[in-house]
Amino acid sequence: MKKVRIRGKFCNIEAEHAKSLSRKLVGLILESRIYPILFEFENERRWSFHTFLVLKPIDFVFIDKNKRVAEVKNSVRPFRFVIKPLKPVKYVLELPQGMGSLFLIREKLKF
């Protein structure tokens, strides 16, 4: 499992770096412990996510191709079928509930 360090004004976290299709498909499904995972895509799109079979609420941070925070969705409950950003993004960070508050909209991240 490859890791990536994500740094911002208020955050310095280590996340799993999900690049393969199989890892992106599974995400945090059926994980008893929620941990940071960064999904990286080939291009920007309004990628669709879900929390079906995710056992606890999680936060989503949507990040554009320039590594700027485009949107944060906090406390997304389990069994939601469509979670989409308002704008196209290249990266999506799933986090334990509450960690999304560490990210500012339009903030430039380093990873």
Looking at residue 40, its pLDDT comes to 96
pLDDT tens-digit map of 68-111: 999 999 999 999 999 999 999 999 999 999 999 999 999 999 99
Q: Which among 55, 41, 60 has a CA at the least distance from the CA of 100?
A: 60
Dig out the tokens for 92 from the structure. Answer: 């999506």
Q: What SS3 state is found at 15?
A: strand
Q: Are the C-beta atoms of residues 109 and 6 closer than 8 Å to each other? A: yes
Looking at residue 23, its pLDDT comes to 82
- Kindly indicate the confidence band of residue 22, based on its pLDDT and cuts at 50, 70 and 90: confident
Q: d(Cα 50, Cα 57) in Å, to the nearest integer?
A: 11
Look at the chain and count its residues. 111
Dig out the tokens for 83 from the structure. Answer: 């979670």
